[in-house]
Amino acid sequence: MNRWLLATLAAGTVAAIVEIVPALPIQQSFGVTPIEVFQSIASGIEGRAAFDGGMRSAVFGMILHWVISLAFAAAWVAVVSRSATLSRHFALWGIVYGLVAYVVMNWIVLPLSAAPFGTTHVPWRMAMSISFHLFLFGLPIAAVAHWMLGRLRG
């Protein structure tokens, strides 16, 4: 398996886990169960039917969350492999990439999806979502990809 694919798999998987693990108890504190969190992700494709889909929709949402993370990791690996600046300053640019991910997901993907809800405009929820994307999504993708690409270079 080539190093770019390994770096993508590792970075995308780590970011998917690092982002969702703290999100689940936070959502639970708002009365949203983990199953409902993953159903809400599935609703991007299934629409409102995801919330009636039970565990099947929740598992689909889990897989979709992972696939989205892999797509963002693949894009990062493709770009960082061609840029010494991004590679050298991976932490800073990883945080910036988290902001890019937030904008893409909330201003492009979510509005175009079948999800029965939109981007939040509640300031503290927006701040939480942005910080999650910066530090629990973009930064882990950049850090894991940097580590993997460095270890697999040769």
pLDDT at 26: 97
Residue pLDDT, tens place only, 72-101: 999 999 999 999 999 999 999 999 999 999
User: Tokens 């983990």 appear where?
Assistant: 34
With a pLDDT cut of 90, the percent of the chain lying above it is: 96
pLDDT at 122: 95
Residue pLDDT, tens place only, 110-128: 999 999 999 999 999 999 9
Task: Give mean pLDDT, residues 24-43.
Answer: 98
Is 70 exceeded by the pLDDT of residue 154? no
Task: Give mean pLDDT, residues 6-27.
Answer: 98
Residue pLDDT, tens place only, 53-68: 999 999 999 999 999 9
Is 70 exceeded by the pLDDT of residue 48? yes
Q: What is the rounded distance in angstroms from the CA atom of residue 25 to the CA atom of residue 14? A: 18
With a pLDDT cut of 70, the percent of the chain lying above it is: 99
Q: What is the rounded distance in angstroms from the CA atom of residue 5 to the CA atom of residue 132? A: 25
Is 70 exceeded by the pLDDT of residue 18? yes
CB 8 within 8 A of CB 70: yes
Q: Which two tokens stand for residue 81?
A: 């492999």
Please return the burial class of 102, using the count of CB atoms within 10 Å of its CB with bins 0-12, 13-18 and 19+. buried
Is 80 exceeded by the pLDDT of residue 103? yes
What's the mean per-residue pLDDT of the chain? 96
Q: How far is CA 19 from the centre of its chain?
A: 7
Is 60 exceeded by the pLDDT of residue 139? yes
Q: What is the DSSP string of the chain?
A: --HHHHHHHHHHHHHHHHHHHHHHHHHHHTT--HHHHHHHHHHHHHGGGGGGSHHHHHHHHHHHHHHHHHHHHHHHHHHHTT-HHHHHTHHHHHHHHHHHHHHIIIIIIHHHS--SS-----HHHHHHHHHHHIIIIIHHHHHHHHHHHHHH--
Q: What is the amino acid identity at position 129?
A: S
